[in-house]
Structure 1
Amino acid sequence: MKQRVSRTLRKAAAAVAVLASVVSMSACGANSATSNGNIVSVFPGTTGTINENFNPFSPTALAPTLGVIYETLYWYNLASESDPTPMLATDYEWNEDGSELVITTREGVTWQDGEPFSARDVAFTFNLIHDTPALNASGSACTAEVIDDNHVRLVFPTDTDDGEPFTGAYMQEGGILAGQAIVPEHLWKDIADPVSYTNSDPVGTGAFKLSKFTSQSYMLEAYDGYWNGAPKIDGVRYITLNDASAATSALLAGEVDWMSAYIANLDVFLESNKDIDYANTPRLTTVIMTCSNADMGCAGPQTDPAVRQAIYYAMDRDQLNRLAGGGYGEVASPTLLMSDRDGQWITDKDLVSAPQDANVEKAAEILDEAGWVMGDDGVREKDGEKLTMTIQTVAGWSDYILINDTLKQQLAKVGIELETTQTSWNEWNNNETTGNYQLSLDSIGLGVTDDPYYTYSPRLYSENTTEVGVTSSGQNYARYVNAEVDEAIENAAGTDDKEERKAYYAIVQERLIEDLPTSPSTSIR
């Protein structure tokens, strides 16, 4: 039995569009010829100091770690349903009851240090994850057995916690085939702490390898022994800049070939610069992430579901998209799914899209009923606590800064005081992973398949979060815990019947619109 799956990349930056591991604005024919050869210069949206981290298990690994240096078994197109492209694997097959998955690995692949790649590296990677729970962000439960140099068997436990019959581990397929980079056994077997390891000398199977690193830029050089043929360029240089304005200037000056950055009045800009082009792939939903759970250590008015609901209805998303997105976004869904690609999984037509216009009356009514009383200064309060919250974004992300500034004005109409703050990317990311924030402007990317399990399990399942102050290796940065959602996600993972899974996802979606741990703030980006 084979399943069709899709691959995901975590958002590298706030962008007009995101495309693979480099992004949308490009200067045609602007590759830089240097003493190192033909080099493509990339601004991935990073501002401030670059922290060296090429650990493919880390949620804060630098952008090219996955896909460019380290590779997965398969690659899947995020933009549409399509057949998988074999990478380090060429075939896979489930046994009859879905308890074992046999993977055929590609022959003739070498690691970037010249050592041969084999099925033993695949087995080592998944056994390392199994034996190191902090690395297991995908929830994979398998152990691995080497059959021979080109075949590995992944074995899944068949005992179920609730005593129900085992129905197969098919829902783990996407994370295994598309979501996990493979690491070399001969190097990683000697690493004492793979969780905190920053991997300053990464060795993958990808088309490019690290050649130089500084806190302001780093260089990847082509790996001539790449299994799919030598790259057509000699290298890629990743740089950090102060903000989107600096990125635009660098693009115009020919110092950047590809970049992810907000450009105001994009149509006018392109008309004046004929050698620059862009691609718009609206596959990220901009959201207000909330530290939502007081029981997990979150503090502030946003731990009240009524406050989160009021924010949801008080936003004028049409205005936000026109101001910050230039009108290039698509309508987002509160289900966190892509309504055009994933509409089949959205069972309630009222949840296909978030409200585009503000409903100030409904937001005010929600707050009134929850006991938040309007003060003389225009800010509500309850039990002596002001309805004041801080929202963070990254310094230099011009569009997100504009969103926050506009939100401040919009939410003030219902008595919510919003304080905006800008930080370095490193601090912003650390605040989310440790839960040291109230509100954070971020984006939700696609899961490793179009099945909602791969969107919901990482971000909403309680085992993928930690208490505030502890770094979370999962993506549930909202510290969201809901037993009903947990049960629905677990049940969805336990069946390969699409209609049954759809019913379980309907439960998740119902709870999402009530609890709103993450709230779409603008259209899909």
Structure 2
Amino acid sequence: MRRFGAQLSGLILLLNLLIACGTASETTQTTTSTNATSEQTANPNGVLRIGTGINLPVGLDVAQGSTGYNMVTYGAGETLMRFTADNQLKPWLAESVSALDATTWQIKLRQGVRFHDGSELKASDVVTSFNSSWQNLSAAKNFIPADSKTTVIDDYTLNLSTSQAEGSIPYSLANWNFVIHKPALNGVSVLTGMYQPISLEKDQELVLERFANYWDGQAGLQKIIVKKIPDANARSLALQSGDLDLLTNVAPDLASGLPADIELQSVAGTRMHYVMLDSANPPFDDRLVRQALTLAIDRQALLQATLDGQGAVATNLYPASVGIELVEAQIFDPAQAATLLDQAGWVVGSDGMRSKNGQPLAFTLHSYPGRAELTLMAIAIQAQLKDLGITVEVKEVTDIGEIVEKGNFNASMYSIGTSPDPQYTVGTTLIKGAAYNYTGYSNPAIESAFAELRAEQDHAKRIAIAKRIQTEVKNDPVNVYLASPPLITAYRKGSLSGYVPNPNDVYLITKELKLNQ
């Protein structure tokens, strides 16, 4: 038995100057500053005010949309497994997860875990929670098949049996699509976390309060108020004035301008910024054009122009920070990019721009303000591709989900959190029907390799399969991978204690986090 325990206008000139200057030397590992030790006493009744530019949940039902992600982020939701700050997979609500054979996993639960309604977590609740996820969250099926069987052994033990071998079950149990919950009553899921959501004002504010009967002891804050403030400068000013206590996802250029009394915490993140291409429609229905785009972008210049040189360039679908062996695929090679476009019939005219059969090589690149650097990257990409004869219109929209979910785009900036599990990014972005595969892209070689990856339990063999998939991504790209940004948070020096940054941005709030008096 094996066990697994912006603003656009004011920055365009600067961007163009930085791009024209070329790339700087290889940079990019960010470091974690030491959490300042405060002599102040933690306030047991502290109210932590968080400012974010990222969308708040549309509701409080974790079986809808990405609400589960938000609930884990802010300390309300928990999964059976989780990733620690050093990217280790550990039990959370589970006590252990063990492989009985190739298709059967046994899950033993922690005893004494209470839901927010006061009832104790039992194996039957996990069965109900899984069924809710499978029925309502399409992405859940990409991690644990919906035809899996759950069998209650006793109050704290259940078996999970799959129709075929599934090697990544322990990893999948850490996925936010499987937040343990009781189905929502009046639109609110009953969860187990250290904080309990009590109100949500759409697109404005989420409020949570300490859950008194939390299984792992009293959480350090009385209340958490999460405010969505789309403008990054407004968030920064609110922190400096004392109207906010903590900023998340701080852009490096903004971080560098903060005063000395602001503490910054920066870690190499596991997030991936990339461009999604509509492979179903011109011009990106041509594989040669997609390949050309992957080679036409100077990613190091993007880092210099938009992330203050911080972060890491991406050459394939996995960030270097997750520890998966990489196959270098999407490198900067403008000469080869031009050759591929020539082969595809896109000819350079007297004006330096490319056309084919009288049609210009042009597309709209959508972006969104939630992650400010994405639009800045889009502007930089626009300038780089113009040198290759491609016309790009950058269009920023407030709700990128509305655009991509309807498939109403040529290309779009996007960003997802990734995982040390090699299956995760493939399963969410490249497989037909995956949560972030918005254009219906399907590659038989990737689909076949993904099936192998799902079945394999041996780590070394899983990495080998992941390398094969990366090679196929090089040959038939649908996404242009750009960079992994640093994960930067900011707060006033001495104001917090117990804060440990996690490269997986889903884990923001911990029990130990306290607000000092």
TM-score (norm 2): 0.80
Distance 1:17 1:235 in 2: 34
* Count of aligned pairs between the two proteins: 458
Question: Residue 76 of structure 1: which of 83, 102, 110 is its match?
Answer: 83
Distance 1:17 1:110 in 2: 40
The secondary structure found in structure 1 opposite 2:178 is coil
Question: Residue 253 of structure 1: which of 211, 226, 241 is its match?
Answer: 241
Shift of 1:78: 6.0
Residue pair 1:288, 1:439 contacting (<8 A) in 2 also: yes
Shift of 1:383: 3.1
Distance 1:442 1:504 in 2: 25
Please tell me whether residue 393 in structure 1 is matched to residue 393 in structure 2. no
The secondary structure found in structure 2 opposite 1:300 is coil
Please tell me whether residue 175 in structure 1 is matched to residue 182 in structure 2. no
Change (3 A) 1:130 1:251: closer
Please tell me whether residue 319 in structure 1 is matched to residue 301 in structure 2. yes
Change (3 A) 1:204 1:214: same
Shift of 1:338: 2.9
Residue pair 1:90, 1:106 contacting (<8 A) in 2 also: yes
Shift of 1:90: 0.8
Q: CA RMSD in A?
A: 3.2
Change (3 A) 1:54 1:386: farther
Shift of 1:37: 4.6
What's the counterpart of residue 421 of structure 1? 395
What's the counterpart of residue 193 of structure 2? 206
Distance 1:255 1:55 in 2: 29
Question: Residue 291 of structure 1: which of 278, 283, 289 is its match?
Answer: 278
Please tell me whether residue 458 in structure 1 is matched to residue 428 in structure 2. yes
Residue pair 1:25, 1:260 contacting (<8 A) in 2 also: no
Structure with the higher fraction of residues in strand conformation? 2
The secondary structure found in structure 2 opposite 1:116 is coil
Shift of 1:207: 0.8
Structure 1 residue identity aligned to 2:333: N
The secondary structure found in structure 1 opposite 2:379 is helix
What's the counterpart of residue 2 of structure 1? 2
Q: Within 5 Å, which residues of 2 pair with 1:37-436?
A: 37-46=45-54, 52-61=58-67, 63-66=69-72, 68-77=75-84, 79-80=86-87, 82=88, 84=90, 86-95=91-100, 97-130=101-134, 134=138, 136-140=141-145, 141-158=147-164, 168-185=165-182, 187-188=183-184, 200-215=187-202, 216-263=204-251, 265=253, 268-270=256-258, 272-292=259-279, 294=280, 299-334=281-316, 336-339=317-320, 341-343=322-324, 345-346=325-326, 348=327, 350-351=328-329, 354-355=330-331, 358-395=332-369, 397-424=371-398, 427-436=399-408
Using CA pairs below 8 Å that are at least 6 residues apart, which structure has the higher relative contact order?
A: 2
Instruction: Please identify runs of 4+ aligned residues in structure 1 that moved more than 6 A.
Output: 16-19, 23-29
Shift of 1:409: 0.8
Shift of 1:341: 4.3
Change (3 A) 1:329 1:478: farther
Distance 2:222 2:86 in 1: 28
Change (3 A) 1:440 1:4: farther
Shift of 1:65: 1.6
Residue pair 1:288, 1:518 contacting (<8 A) in 2 also: yes
Change (3 A) 1:131 1:360: closer
TM-score (norm 1): 0.78
- Percent identity between matched residues is 24
Structure 2 residue identity aligned to 1:157: S
The secondary structure found in structure 2 opposite 1:506 is helix
Distance 1:376 1:3 in 2: 65
What's the counterpart of residue 9 of structure 1? none
Residue pair 2:69, 2:176 contacting (<8 A) in 1 also: no
What's the counterpart of residue 164 of structure 1? none
Distance 2:388 2:374 in 1: 22
Gaps of 5+ in 1: 6-15, 159-167, 192-198, 465-473
Question: Residue 479 of structure 1: which of 440, 452, 459 is its match?
Answer: 440
Distance 1:395 1:388 in 2: 23
Q: What does the per-residue CA deviation read over 1:219-262, in whole Å, with 9 as the maximum and x for residues that have no partner? A: 11111111111211111111111311111111111122222344
Q: What does the per-residue CA deviation read over 1:285-334, in whole Å, with 9 as the maximum and x for residues that have no partner? A: 22112222x2xxxx331222222222222212122101101111123231
